[in-house]
């Protein structure tokens, strides 16, 4: 169990905890109305301005509706590209989004991401994000056989991603 929290200015920094082995929960209060936060999460032109954490983000697809497909490609300064994609499982306007998340470098390792938005009534909004990790075996019921080569590739891709993220 790890939990961190701190405060900067008027915006409360994230609180991060791991309530179960493979669940990550983040909570943060933004000094912005729920409508603005909702739009930042659901309008591609706005998502492109923050999701990539300063890296260029190309939103190839973003169908914000149940069953809709999304795919983002992040371009790092050294020319690497990383694709992320999944499907929306639930879209309840202003309230809740649930979607699957997969990184191209770890195919099959699906994360179920949920974001819940609460209007605090004073112009601020609480966002609670929950991420639940599934192994490919859990997702597909696959056997381990034949996974070694694929994992070595995943590892090499992971290493590149980690190398790029080290200064952040």
Partner 1 sequence: MVQYSSDLDAVFAAVADGTRRGILERLGRREASISELAEQFDMTLTGMKKHVQLLEDAGLVRTQKVGRVRTCSLGTRRLTAEAAWIAKYHQMVEAQLDSLGDFLERTKGDQP
**38 backbone dihedrals φ, ψ, rounded to 5°:** -60, -45
Burial zone of 75 (CB within 10 Å; 0-12 exposed, 13-18 middle, 19+ buried):
middle
**45 backbone dihedrals φ, ψ, rounded to 5°:** -65, -30
What's the min distance (Å) between Cβ of 52 and partner 1? 8
Instruction: Give the span between the Cα atoms of 73 and 51, in whole angstroms.
Output: 11
**Binding segment (CB under 8 A) for partner 1, from list 63-71, 88-96, 154-162:** 154-162
Q: Are 86 and 102 in contact (CB under 8 A)?
A: yes
Q: Which residues between 85 and 124 bind partner 1 (CB under 8 A)?
A: 103, 105-106, 109, 111
Instruction: Give the span between the Cα atoms of 37 and 51, in whole angstroms.
Output: 13
Q: What angle do CA 33, 88, 43 make, to 5 degrees?
A: 40
Return the number of the residue (92 or 153) whose C-beta is nearest partner 1: 153
The radius of gyration of the chain's CA atoms, rounded to the nearest angstrom, is: 17
| Residue 163 interacting with partner 1 (CB under 8 A) | yes
Which of 6, 45, 65, 162 forms a contact with partner 1 (CB under 8 A)? Answer: 162
Q: Which residues between 10 and 69 bind partner 1 (CB under 8 A)?
A: 11, 13-14, 16, 18, 20-22, 24, 26, 28, 30-32, 36-37, 39-40, 46, 49-54
**Cβ–Cβ contacts within 10 Å for residue 160, how many?**
15
Which of 58, 120, 142, 152 forms a contact with partner 1 (CB under 8 A)? Answer: 152
What's the min distance (Å) between Cβ of 26 and partner 1? 6
Residues that bind partner 1 (CB under 8 A): 1-2, 11, 13-14, 16, 18, 20-22, 24, 26, 28, 30-32, 36-37, 39-40, 46, 49-54, 103, 105-106, 109, 111, 127, 129, 131, 133, 135, 144, 147-148, 151-152, 154-156, 158-159, 161-163, 165-166, 168
């Amino acid at each position: 169990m790890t939990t961190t929290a701190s405060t900067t200015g008027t915006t409360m920094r994230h609180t991060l905890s791991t309530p179960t082995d493979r669940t990550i929960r983040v909570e943060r209060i933004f000094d912005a109305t729920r409508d603005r936060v909702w739009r930042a999460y659901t309008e591609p032109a706005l998502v492109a301005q923050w999701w990539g954490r300063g890296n260029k983000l190309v939103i190839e697809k973003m169908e914000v509706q149940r069953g809709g497909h999304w795919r983002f490609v992040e371009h790092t300064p050294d020319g690497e590209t990383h694709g992320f994609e999944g499907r929306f499982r639930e879209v309840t306007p202003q309230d809740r989004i649930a979607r699957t998340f997969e990184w191209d470098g770890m195919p099959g390792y699906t994360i179920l991401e949920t974001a819940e938005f609460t209007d605090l009534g004073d112009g601020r909004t609480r966002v609670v994000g929950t991420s639940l990790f599934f192994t490919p075996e859990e997702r597909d019921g696959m056997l381990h056989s034949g996974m070694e080569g694929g994992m070595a590739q995943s590892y090499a891709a992971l290493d590149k991603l980690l190398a790029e993220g080290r200064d952040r």
